[in-house]
Amino acid sequence: MNFLSLVSFAIAFAVLGLGLLSSADDPTIFLDEISAVIVLGGTFAATAIAFRMEKIIMLIKIFLVRVIKGNDVEYKEIIVSLIKISESFSNNPEQAKKIAQDSKNPFLLEAIELATEGILSPGDIYRILRARVESMHQHHLIDASKFKTIGKFPPAFGMMGTTIGMIVLLSNLGGADAAKSIGPAMAICLITTLYGVALANLVIIPIAENLSATSKEIRIKNSIIVEGIKLIMNGKNSILIAEELNSFLLPKERVDWKSVLNT
């Protein structure tokens, strides 16, 4: 469970709530059922049309698995695992598999299994793994782009609700007391826009940005694995593997291979 994501969402809604509470003596003026129905219902309907109903369930799963449940990518742990695998790959393939299993990284385990089967050549395995890295990255970017598309719907339906309210307001203007009703009626009209902007910018667009950033991190992590497997299959020593893979990281993030090899 990624508690930082939950905390971030809580902070976002707390800021919104604080802004609403501090800007009016009666916060209930920001509550309007019709506005909520227009924004939420319209967004759901537009999403269903754009991506089909079954895709909506998949998008919910993606949100839960990769945003709420997902953890930060630990590059150093991957490099440490690859260094240890390089030490036992030639003499003890089963130990190499066990190290990959203990890392709890499915892509690393998949790569090690391909490398230890002895069916494909190192060149073929490298090309296959590179293709899988890019394919996975593209799928992740597509998921992020879907959320970015959904993020366009709430503000649009918010404006639609506001337009509907304005039409009703203007059509009922007339009489001596008409001017007194303009202010309250205008406030109700703008609530729909508020709901749309809040839903898009506090929930949907941040999710899209989170998925986009995570996809890049996963791509780097998988690239480290592929390059590490390539070096291991080519019989390179552990020190060279460590230094090559450290090139993916910033200086302060790099693995101290001496401490790894001495344990």
- Provide the whole-model pTM: 0.84
pLDDT in tens, 24-67: 788 888 888 888 999 999 999 999 999 887 888 888 888 888 88
Residue type, 220: I
Least confident of 66-70, 94-98, 209-213: 66-70
**Residue 212 pLDDT more than 80?**
yes
Least confident of 67-71, 83-87, 206-210: 67-71
Rounded Cα distance, 39 and 33, in Å = 10
Least confident of 53-57, 211-215, 234-238: 53-57
Rounded Cα distance, 246 and 154, in Å = 44
Q: What is the pLDDT of residue 183?
A: 65
Contact 105, 229 (CB under 8 A): no
Contact 199, 39 (CB under 8 A): yes
Place of tokens 């537009």: 46
Contact 192, 38 (CB under 8 A): yes
Domain count along the chain: 1
Residue 204 lies in domain: 3-261
pLDDT in tens, 90-119: 888 888 889 888 888 899 999 999 998 888
Place of tokens 């905390």: 7
3-class SS of residue 69: coil
pLDDT band at 186 (very low <50, low <70, confident <90, very high): confident
**Residue 262 pLDDT more than 80?**
no
Quick one: which of 117, 158, 148 has its CA closest to 32? 158
Q: How far is CA 115 from CA 77, 190, 224, in A?
A: 20, 61, 15
Rounded Cα distance, 92 and 241, in Å = 18
Give the list of residues 6+ apart from residue 184 with CB closer than 8 angstroms, or none. Answer: none
Least confident of 51-55, 123-127, 195-199: 51-55
**Residue 181 pLDDT more than 70?**
no
Rounded Cα distance, 167 and 210, in Å = 38
Quick one: which of 234, 233, 257, 235 has its CA closest to 245? 257
Instruction: Give the other-Cβ count within 10 Å of 94's Cβ.
Output: 9
Rounded Cα distance, 47 and 146, in Å = 9
pLDDT in tens, 220-235: 999 999 999 999 999 8
| Average confidence (pLDDT) over 67-95 | 86
Contact 78, 221 (CB under 8 A): yes
